[in-house]
Amino acid sequence: MQDVKPSPSITHVVKRTGEVVPFTPERITNAIYRAAVAVGGRDRTIAEGLTRQVVELLERTIPPGRHPTVEEIQDLVEKVLIENGHAKVAKAYILYREERARLRREKAGRGYRESGNIPWRKIYEVLRWSVDHDLHTVDRLNARILQGEFAQIVQESDRCYEEEIDTAAQLIMERRDQLRMVIIAGPSSSGKTTTLIKLRQRLAQAGQGVVPLNADHYFLDLELHPRDEFGDYDFETPQALDLALLNEHLARLIAGEEVWVPRYDFKTGKRQDRATLLRLGPGDLLLLDSLHGFYPPMTQDIAEEHKFRLYIETLLQMKGPDGRMIRWTDLRLMRRIVRDASYRAYEPRRTLEHWHYVRSSEMHNIFPYVNTADFIINGALPYELPVMRRRLLDHFARWAQEYQGDPLRVDAWTRAQRIYELLNAVAPIEAEDEQAIPPTSHLREFIGGSCYQY
């Protein structure tokens, strides 16, 4: 791959915050390539050539000694895309740019805005449970831990989660004559895989045949994924999946045909086609486990009445040491750091640095479709906070120091500092205390020791 070299005359760029950071042409290449991927393009060399044109325009239009702004660069990207006949890519780029601007405006303080994508009724149920069990603040969690009630907290939390799976299974069985597919979706590390296993067991006990399918096996080879100037690949976008092949296989399976399901190796970044022969029996339900299961193009060839949508999210309702509700994304980030280090050969620091991709994809491709769910499961467990403290407190303390003042790692520093302060406020537990966590707990999907095969 031929790299785009920065011009000696363009060495820095002015961010929207006013910070001046080194000019990195590869950021332009990645933005163009990401827009191209969104409309089906996969040729990075074209993106590199277009970037060279953008850099040449910058050299001609920016006065010597002045740094270009991010907005000026983005304007030139749009101009180059349109002039080179890439109208679809330009449209995807413009739409993404407008969406980011909208999110910045909201974040800047337009005040509280109610969203139809937030499951308020479910959140209220979780909050009521938290208050009833004296787990609605970190201080109350700590008090119970210090009273020797960690094992009791585990039992109460797991019981609530299991009851929600019971409810989901009951709702599915009530529609068993109509359904052909159950989609289990939710953001990264919310507990989808264990939930699928448990749901499968419930349905089998009720006499319902089920066949699981993990959409992760439809990832395209790693070399085709968008990446950034740090070499980090983006697994989070739906376009990282072979959506055409997945749709074809889903339609054929529901029609009663056999298909060869591929297998994706996360360690090599390669997909093996024709890995597993799969077929639905008469009356069987297909259980689809997918991060983007509600994203319309993923199952567009399946009739709506044949789908049951089950959503899972870490809906913890607990105030942290700052008096604010603990962020669900922070729980999932900690889970993923621990899991990826153990099972996907992914260095913990890289998981933190990659998390902005996760959040961006969630905002665009997951959260907008939450209100289409037939049922929502709370995947948060109050006892996971002291469990993560044992594993990650030192990591986040170190990252909060190392990323401070780095303008290219503001997102990583913000998360590291916030999570460090949270974990530092949680009462510690000992290793032997974790023996109270049963092998059936879905937290074991991340920390190890599960009785299930993943």
95 has pLDDT over 80:
no
What pLDDT score does 184 carry? Answer: 96
> CA–CA separation, 444 vs 451, rounded Å?
8
- Model confidence band, residue 178 (pLDDT cutoffs 50, 70, 90): very high
**Greater confidence, 343 or 141?**
141
What pLDDT score does 209 carry? Answer: 94
What pLDDT score does 7 carry? Answer: 46
What CA dihedral angle connects 251, 253, 257 and 258, to 10 degrees?
A: 130
358 has pLDDT over 70:
yes
How many residues make up the chain in this entry?
Answer: 454
pLDDT tens for each residue of 210-254:
999 999 899 988 888 766 656 666 667 788 899 999 999 999 999
- Look up tokens 């900690």; give the residue: 334
Q: What is the number of helices (H) and of strands (E) in the chain?
A: 14, 9
What is the number of other CB atoms lying within 10 angstroms of the CB of residue 401?
13
Q: What's the mean pLDDT when you consider all of the chain?
A: 89
Tokens of 304: 């709506």
Indicate the domain borders of the chain.
Answer: 12-107, 125-447
> CA–CA separation, 52 vs 222, rounded Å?
25
Please give the angle made by the CA atoms of 95, 240 and 292, to the nearest 5 degrees: 80
What pLDDT score does 110 carry? Answer: 41
Contact assessment for residue 347 and residue 230, using Cβ atoms and an 8 Å cutoff: no
The pTM assigned to this predicted structure is 0.75
Query: To which CATH superfamily is domain 125-447 assigned?
Result: P-loop containing nucleotide triphosphate hydrolases (3.40.50.300)
DSSP assignment letter at 323 = S
Ranges 35-39, 52-56, 227-231, most confident:
52-56
What CA dihedral angle connects 58, 60, 66 and 67, to 10 degrees?
A: 10
- Model confidence band, residue 43 (pLDDT cutoffs 50, 70, 90): confident
